[in-house]
Structures are given as structure tokens and as C-alpha cells.
């Protein structure tokens, strides 16, 4: 076993544990992920083949963290998200009911679009506003599926919907399922559902999958929802489950995760043991003191307080500014200053509750030419022009892809919704790309050549996605220039970026799958250098660490977030979000705020800023403005819709 660190006694017990299933319950920075990595190395050193070990977790970033810590030398070892593991199973096993290359994986935007179209049919014209939004329908549906309950049961338990509103949600939810199926769409939940259902209904299949592993190691176990638990449950008889988790860091209840499930680990999994780690190796004690205080304010009982091993360190600061621009400039100036003194840009992580609130900070990074990478928030493929090009590719590989065809066809002058609908109606009955081309040809006659040119170009280069996109882009240039005549030069680079991303994939289907499962965030990744500042959402930052951590907008309305004040459970989850953010910092923790509050913003309840009454000895206040109260500012200033 080769680590640069010496494990402590508790870590050794976890690393060397060779009994049954085990759960390591321990706080932030105590080395849970370290234990997973060292265990994996230990098992391999004892002769376990790397391909007989799987490292799973929920978020992509936590999965990347595991992957980079284990390195590349163990060929066959799987380290990734549950979703990517499930997709890999579908690709590699012929006994699963789904061939993923025949399906199009859809993201949240597509899901919403599909439900929008369903809603338009289900509700009388002009009365749409009386009914729940597509976003609500999608959230209810997703939550119900993730927690393995029917939509009816979910609505009865959590929602106060009656009569036509209730029946609308139920109908929309069921039609969503049917529409997906008919269009050969698979959403994120489907990916897990296919595997979970197959394994539960067919024990022989579950055995065949699970017995390929000597051990399945799961990081961030508090984030698992019942759907993911179902996959784990069906593996329990045939492999060893080694899970690590921290109830204080549970921040995915909104998608059905339930940290009680790790409390009841030994009940749920027979012949299992719970282990503990109690020393934090990440952060200075001054940082841990503040984090401990935040969790102490909760009425819920989490496990013990964090005890550090790295000395006291500097007291965290909260710097107050009058506006978001000054705040952003302070952050970027601080980064530049330390860079001048030899510190790397990559030592800095800027943690956001919502990425849409990062506008000023991004602008400031750009203006000072600081290289940075954005993780979380809007995807590159959420932009109108990137969606257009992607629609051409999707329409080509899946003639049943209604949303792609609708978007693609209506790009062309003279083709509106009515014509497109007529064509799509026929396409939905088609069997092949060949047939699809025929249908478009017949429907459009003279205009068909222009519409089909990009489609033909893409289908000609299916195994050279770079070339496929390049030639499609060439054929669509005229439309793009016309449709985006005001700002084409600004949009153009995103499409070139798409082409270069496609270049690295083996075929167009893989291109779509890869970037739907792991989208690029933000449009410009500034600078070519490896050394970059990371601008990241707290949800994505879980499991990660940084020498210096910035937490901007530490103020009323953000922690807890205005939209998550509706219940005690929501507020407690928000408290854990802040706790996760604080515990990312190794040496320096720099909170700040932009002076304004959130008056007028749509809230779901009432709650004070978590640090409103923080003891002075835990946090240094700097700057002129008083600790921010609920101040007067237009709601759109926060959300970035202005």
C-alpha cells in the first residue's frame, strides 16, 4: 500500500477491514474518500483483479475525484457515477432490455419541452396558468420515481392539489412516460430504472452482474435515493458493499436522497458493520470551528464535531460590500495578488449556491484575464444556437426524436409549427433514417434539398463526428447567419467548440450520449493553461477541497436560499449546504457579500441568514457595510434574468 500519508488507527481499521459489508460514517475531511482509495489499492495488492472492483458515487465531480486519486494504472477498474455505470452495463451486456445506442438520452431541457407540449394538449387554451408548471410536473414525477412511489401517492403525501389540477399532473406524468417511449427517449431516471428493475425482477441477472465484483465501494452514500438503493440491495448477496458517507453532508433530498438510509445501514444490510473516522486532515481548526458552530445550530443531531490535525490557522473572514461588483473585484484582486506571490490559480475555488448568481464574478474574472473553469449551472447545450446544431445531429440518428425535428425543421424560412407537426406525425411512424429522408423529401418537395443537406452530411460521417458537425454547420451557415443576425459573431465560437468536442468522440451517437451525461458548463473556458480558478456550485463541489475557498453572497436569501425556506426539512438541508461549502477549505476561508438582500424575491417561507448571530471569535467581519439584512433590491438582480 503506497500512500504519501500514514493512516491513523481508525482509517487502518477501515482500510484493512475484510469482513462483511461495511459503512464508514464520518465527517467532512476525515479521509473517507482516502479510505476508499487506499482500500482499493490494498485489495489490488492482495491479488484482486482491478476489474472486480467498482467505485461508485452520485455526482460526476466526486466520481472524477475518485478517478484522479486512484490514477490510471489499474486497468479495468470502474470508477464513475451510478448513471455512467448503468450505461456501461447496457452497452456491454446483451441480456438487458435496452440497447442504449438505439435511444436518445434527454436532459432536463428536453424533459421540460416534452411536458410543455403535453401540457398544451391537456389544458384549455389561455388557461395554462391555472395548472402546475412543466417544471413542477417534472419535479413531482422525478421525485416519485426516485423514491419508488406512484405519482398519486407522492401528490397525496406532499402536495395540496385537488380536482382538475391533481388529475392534470397525473395525466401529464403518465403521458410523459408514453411520449418518451414512443420517441425512443431515455431520461436520467430511466437509466437507473432500467438496471434497477432488471436486477430486482431477475435475480439471476442480478447475480450475474454483482458476482463480477469482489467489492463495490460507494462514496457519498448519504446522497443515494431509493432507486439507487435498489441497485445496491440486489448486489448485496453476491459482493461486498463498502460505503462511506456523512449525514451532515446530505444535500440531495430534493431528488429523493434520504440520509436516514445510512443510519439504518445495518438493519438494511445483514451482516454489516459501521466504522468511524474522527480526525479531520483537511482544514485548519479555525475553519472547522465555524463549520461545527453552523451544524450545532441545527435542531437535528449530527455526529460529532470535527477535530482537526493541521493547527489553528487563520480565522475565516466575512467581508461586506455595498454591491456585487465591488465584491467580485475583491475576490479577483485577492486571487491576482496571491498569484503575483507565486500561488497557483488552481488553489482558489469559488463556491456558489446558484450559478446564475455568478454573473458579476465571471465578468470580473474575464476582465482581469484570470483563467477559470465553470462547473455547474447552465450547460453549453442550453443555448439556442448549440441546440440548433445538436437538433440536426439528433434528428439524423433518431428519426423519432420529435423535439429535435421540431426545432430543426422550424429553423428554415417558410417552415412553421404546422408544417413541422405534419411532417413529424409521419416521422413518428417511420422505421429508419432512409425512410425519414423520404418523408421529408415528399413533404417539402422543392425546399427539401436545403433541409436535407445537413442531415445527409451527418449521416455520411457517422463515425467522424467532428466532420459530421463541421459539414452540417457549413450547410446551415446561411440559416444561422439569418436567424442570429444580431449577434452571430458572439455565437459562432460555441459552435466551433462543439465541433472540436465532437472531434474527440468515436461516433455521433457517442457524442450525444457523452455530452448529455456530462455536459460542458459555461461557454468560454477561459485560457488554455492548466492552472485555473474553479467557479463551482456547492452541490458539485462535494468531496472536493481547495487551499483557499471563497463563498460569495453569504447573506440573507442565499443561505438558506430564498426558494428553500418552505419547511424545516428544507432549511436543514440548506444548513448542510453551507456546512459542505465551509468544509471544502483547507487553509483560507473567505466569505463575502454584496450588501443587498432579497426583498421582493419570491420566498417560500421565512428564515434568517445562518451566520446572522455567529460569535465574533469564529468569524472576522471586514468592510464597511453592516451585516446584510433583508435589503431593497429588485429580485432580478439575483437571478440574472435582467
Partner DNA sequence: AACGTTTCCTTTTTT
Partner DNA sequence: AGGAAACGTT
Binding site membership: which residues? Answer: 26-33
| In the complex, least distance from residue 52 CB atom to ligand ATP, rounded to whole angstroms | 23
* Binding of residue 34 to ligand ATP (CB under 6 A): yes
The one of Mg ion, ligand ATP, DNA, none whose footprint includes residue 8, by CB under 5 to 8 A per kind, is ligand ATP
Instruction: Give the one residue of 8, 200, 285, 526 binding ligand ATP; rule: CB under 6 A.
Output: 8
The closest alpha carbon to 515, from 132, 109, 222, belongs to 109
**DSSP secondary structure string for all residues of 538-563:** HHHHTT--EEEEEE---STTBTTBGG
Contact between 397 and ligand ATP per CB under 6 A: no
Given a contact cutoff of 8 angstroms between Cβ atoms, the answer to whether 462 and 507 are in contact is yes
**Alpha-carbon gap, residue 461 to 507, rounded angstroms:** 8
How many residues bind to ligand ATP according to rule CB under 6 A?
Answer: 19
d(CA 316, CA 584): 13
Question: What is the closest distance, in whole angstroms, from the C-beta atom of residue 217 to Mg ion in the complex?
Answer: 12
CA-to-CA separations, 146 to 139, 152, 223, 382, in angstroms, rounded = 10, 14, 12, 24
- Residue with Cβ nearer DNA (189 or 572): 189
Q: Minimal CA–CA distance to 350: which of 118, 125, 150, 536?
A: 536
Assess 548 for contact with ligand ATP (CB under 6 A): no
Q: With residue 88 as reference, give the H or E element that holds it.
A: helix 82-92
* Residue 433 C-beta: closest distance to DNA, Å: 23
Of DNA, Mg ion, ligand ATP, none, which one sits near residue 31, judging by CB under 5 to 8 A according to partner kind? ligand ATP
Does 308 interact with ligand ATP (rule: CB under 6 A)?
no
Q: Which are the contacts of 218, defined by CB distance < 8 A and separation ≥ 6?
A: 55, 56, 57, 224, 232, 241, 242, 243, 244
User: Between residue 537 and residue 566, which ones bind Mg ion under the rule CB under 5 A?
Assistant: 543
Nearer to Mg ion by Cβ, of 32 and 548: the residue is 32
Annotated binding site for ATP: 26-33
Q: For 499, how many CA atoms within 13 A lie in the half-sphere containing its CB?
A: 15
Contact between 28 and 580 (Cβ < 8 Å): yes
Element (H, E) at 584: none
Binder among 202, 205, 281, 525 for ligand ATP (CB under 6 A):
281
Sole residue written with cell 451544524: 295
* Residue 33 within binding range of ligand ATP, rule CB under 6 A: yes
Task: Tell me which of Mg ion, DNA, ligand ATP, none is bound by residue 7, counting a contact when its beta carbon lies within the kind-specific cut-off of 5 to 8 angstroms.
Answer: ligand ATP
Residue 31 touching ligand ATP (CB under 6 A): yes
Helix 384-397 vs helix 448-460: angle between axes, to the nearest 10 degrees? 70
Binding partner of 107, given DNA, ligand ATP, Mg ion, none, CB within 5-8 angstroms per partner class:
DNA
Count of beta carbons in the 10 Å neighbourhood of residue 158 = 13
Q: Please give the Cα distance from 88 to 115 (Å, whole number).
A: 28
Q: Which residues here bind DNA, judged by CB under 7 A? A: 58-61, 81-84, 107-109, 112-113, 116, 120, 125-126, 128-129, 133-136, 139, 188-189, 251-252, 254-255, 353-356, 376-378, 382-385, 387, 410, 413-420, 517, 537, 539-540, 561, 563-564, 570, 639, 641
Minimum separation from the CB atom of position 450 to DNA (A): 12
Applying CB under 6 A, among 187, 246, 401, 637 the residue interacting with ligand ATP is 246
The binding site for Mg ion (CB under 5 A) comprises 32-33, 543
The binding site for ligand ATP (CB under 6 A) comprises 5-8, 11, 26, 28-34, 246, 249, 281-282, 543, 545
Amino acid at each position: 500500500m503506497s500512500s504519501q500519508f500514514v493512516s491513523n488507527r481508525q482509517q487502518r481499521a477501515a482500510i484493512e477491514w475484510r469482513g462483511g459489508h461495511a459503512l464508514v460514517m464520518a465527517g467532512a475531511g476525515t479521509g473517507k474518500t482516502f479510505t476508499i482509495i487506499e482500500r482499493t489499492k490494498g485489495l489490488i495488492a492482495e491479488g484482486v483483479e482491478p476489474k472486480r472492483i467498482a467505485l461508485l458515487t452520485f455526482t460526476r465531480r466526486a466520481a472524477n475525484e475518485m478517478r484522479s486519486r486512484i490514477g490510471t494504472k489499474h486497468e479495468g477498474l470502474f470508477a464513475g457515477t451510478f448513471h455512467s455505470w448503468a450505461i456501461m452495463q447496457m452497452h456491454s451486456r446483451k441480456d438487458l432490455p435496452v440497447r442504449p445506442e438505439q435511444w436518445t438520452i434527454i436532459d432536463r431541457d428536453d424533459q421540460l419541452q416534452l411536458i410543455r407540449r403535453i401540457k398544451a394538449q391537456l389544458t384549455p387554451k389561455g388557461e395554462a396558468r391555472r395548472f402546475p408548471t412543466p417544471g413542477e410536473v417534472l419535479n413531482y414525477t422525478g421525485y416519485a420515481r426516485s423514491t419508488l412511489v406512484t405519482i398519486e401517492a407522492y401528490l397525496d403525501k406532499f402536495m395540496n392539489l385537488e380536482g382538475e389540477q391533481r388529475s392534470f399532473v397525473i395525466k401529464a406524468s403518465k403521458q410523459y412516460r408514453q411520449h418518451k417511449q414512443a420517441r425512443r427517449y431515455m431520461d436520467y431516471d430511466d437509466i437507473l430504472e432500467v438496471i434497477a428493475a432488471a436486477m430486482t425482477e431477475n435475480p439471476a441477472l442480478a447475480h450475474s452482474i454483482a458476482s463480477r465484483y469482489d467489492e463495490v465501494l460507494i462514496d457519498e452514500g448519504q446522497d443515494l435515493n431509493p432507486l439507487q438503493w435498489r441497485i445496491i440491495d440486489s448486489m448485496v448477496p453476491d459482493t461486498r458493499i463498502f460505503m462511506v458517507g456523512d449525514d451532515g453532508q446530505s444535500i440531495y433530498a430534493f431528488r429523493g436522497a434520504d440520509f436516514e438510509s445510512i443510519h439504518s445501514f445495518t438493519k438494511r444490510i445483514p451482516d454489516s458493520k459501521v466504522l468511524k473516522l474522527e480526525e479531520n486532515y483537511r482544514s485548519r481548526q479555525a475553519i472547522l470551528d465555524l463549520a461545527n458552530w453552523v451544524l450545532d445550530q441545527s435542531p437535528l443531531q449530527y455526529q460529532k464535531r470535527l477535530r482537526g490535525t493541521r493547527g489553528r490557522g487563520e480565522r475565516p473572514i466575512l467581508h461586506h460590500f455595498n454591491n456585487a461588483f465591488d465584491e467580485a473585484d475583491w475576490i479577483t484582486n485577492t486571487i491576482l495578488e496571491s498569484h503575483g506571490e507565486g500561488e497557483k490559480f488552481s488553489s482558489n475555488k469559488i463556491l456558489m449556491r446558484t450559478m446564475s448568481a455568478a454573473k458579476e464574478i465571471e465578468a470580473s474574472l474575464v476582465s482581469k484575464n484570470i483563467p477559470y473553469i465553470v462547473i455547474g449551472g447552465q450547460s453549453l447545450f442550453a443555448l439556442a444556437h448549440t441546440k440548433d446544431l445538436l437538433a440536426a445531429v439528433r434528428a439524423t440518428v433518431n428519426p423519432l426524436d420529435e423535439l429535435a425535428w421540431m426545432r430543426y425543421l422550424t429553423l428554415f424560412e417558410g417552415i412553421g409549427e404546422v408544417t413541422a407537426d405534419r411532417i413529424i406525425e409521419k416521422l413518428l411512424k417511420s422505421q429508419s433514417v432512409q425512410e425519414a429522408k423520404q418523408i421529408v423529401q415528399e413533404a417539402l418537395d422543392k425546399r427539401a434539398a436545403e433541409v436535407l443537406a445537413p442531415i445527409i452530411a451527418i449521416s455520411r460521417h457517422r463515425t467522424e463526428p467532428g466532420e459530421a458537425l463541421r459539414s452540417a454547420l457549413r450547410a446551415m451557415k446561411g440559416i444561422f447567419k439569418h436567424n442570429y443576425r444580431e449577434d452571430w459573431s458572439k455565437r459562432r465560437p460555441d459552435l466551433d467548440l462543439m465541433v472540436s468536442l465532437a472531434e474527440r468522440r468515436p461516433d455521433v451517437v457517442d457524442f450525444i450520449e457523452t455530452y448529455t451525461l456530462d455536459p460542458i458548463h459555461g461557454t468560454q473556458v477561459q485560457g488554455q493553461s492548466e492552472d485555473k480558478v474553479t467557479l463551482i456550485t456547492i452541490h458539485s463541489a462535494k468531496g472536493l477541497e481547495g487551499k483557499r475557498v471563497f463563498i460569495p453572497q453569504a447573506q440573507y436569501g442565499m443561505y438558506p436560499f430564498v426558494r428553500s425556506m418552505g419547511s424545516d426539512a428544507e432549511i436543514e438541508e440548506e444548513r448542510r449546504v453551507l456546512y459542505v461549502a465551509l468544509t471544502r477549505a483547507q487553509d483560507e476561508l473567505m466569505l463575502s457579500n454584496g450588501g443587498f438582500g432579497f426583498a421582493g424575491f419570491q420566498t417560500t417561507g421565512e428564515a434568517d441568514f445562518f451566520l446572522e448571530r455567529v460569535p465574533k471569535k469564529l468569524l472576522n467581519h471586514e468592510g464597511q457595510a453592516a451585516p446584510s439584512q433583508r435589503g431593497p433590491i429588485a429580485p432580478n438582480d439575483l437571478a440574472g434574468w435582467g
